[in-house]
Structure 1
Amino acid sequence: MTHPDEYKTIVKPSEGDFRDRGSKFPSYLVPCENEDALKIHIAELKKKHPGSRHVCYGAILGTENSIERSNDDGEPNGTAGLPILNQLLSAELRNVALLVVRYFGGTKLGKPGLIAAYKESAKSAIESSKQVVRYHKTDISFRFSYDATGPVMQAIEHIQHAHIKDQQFDQDCSITVSIPKSEVDKALHLFDHTNEVEVSQMD
């Protein structure tokens, strides 16, 4: 990550798979913002795979002060949820859950085998995902007279990763811009030298 407000997440769900000695480990990487959404994903997979032995998962919920969750769902302690979570941490993904289903194939894999299986299945789903970089943002409002439109637009162009959300041009003009949080202080002081432009942070 090169920008302090950057984080990576996924655009849409992706799937992976791993097999070892008859056991099958299909995996599902899904967008997930909170624990309520995580519970829904778990319930849906258990319904989709009624013959499976386990639905284990790792999750990183939220984008700032993220919550980490993992669960072995009856597998030996530390052999499933943690290896899955570690793959998410290695990929630096946020707002995601990675669930791995296990169908027992009749042969016990042992703890090292289970750790490897859940890790590889999780890795497979991550590798097939489409990832995007997003930013922790906040909204800034510019209010100005029509004559100041040029300088305001030029200033906005120089704010990294700014996105205009709303604009109104009349005798009195306003533009609402979504910008990375680390750019807020700079943006608020762009027009300290003049009274023609009012800049404020929106709630």
Structure 2
Amino acid sequence: MYIYYPSCNFATMHLQTAKKVRDYFEKQMPIARCCKIDKREFEKGDIGLYVCQACRKQIENQVKTMSVWEYFDQLDNFDFPDYHGQKMYLQDCFRDRNHPEVHQAVRSLLKKMNIEVIEMKNNKDNSIFCGTLHYESKALDDTHLSHYPKDVQEKYMQEYVQQFDNKKIICVCNRCLKGILLGKGNGVHLLELLFNKK
């Protein structure tokens, strides 16, 4: 049985979309409480569906996990929005470096949504970015940019988003998106694209 783990961080940033996603999954499966306090007993064959990499880390030692991207990618009856060939950058998350199944599912979804992906040099298992949580730069001694003052974080995030030419940047991670937005980049979460056709 699937169990959906809503992301508290996603809900904070995208309240309306989080409600739409929750309403969708409530018709399909049980909804877990916050991953840090949900104490359910799992049965053999259960799969925890996650949006957030932090949720995955919290539950992966208790139950088999699957990203919502893989789940949506396997559906035949989901009404995928059509973005008519819009070109958008894709920001892979550092915390997904060892999860090729996520990379594959995300790109498959974007193809189904008729989005032309602009791949970055440091993509997939070479990602160097997770917002202020992890950013690899020669100018930084500590990859945890969150250890630096806010003005320093903002400076590096602004430098980072320069490469995107103000095009839309798709994120599949809350922390990645926070970093992109901190740098005044044109970031959007993939769930927003799936559930809110612009």
Same fold per superposition (TM over 0.5): no
**With CA pairs under 8 Å and 6+ residues apart, which has the higher RCO, 1 or 2?**
1
TM-score bucket (shorter structure): under 0.3
Return the TM-score normalized by structure 1. Answer: 0.23
Which protein is richer in strand relative to its size?
1
TM-score (norm. length: structure 2): 0.24
Q: Is the helix fraction higher in 1 or 2?
A: 2
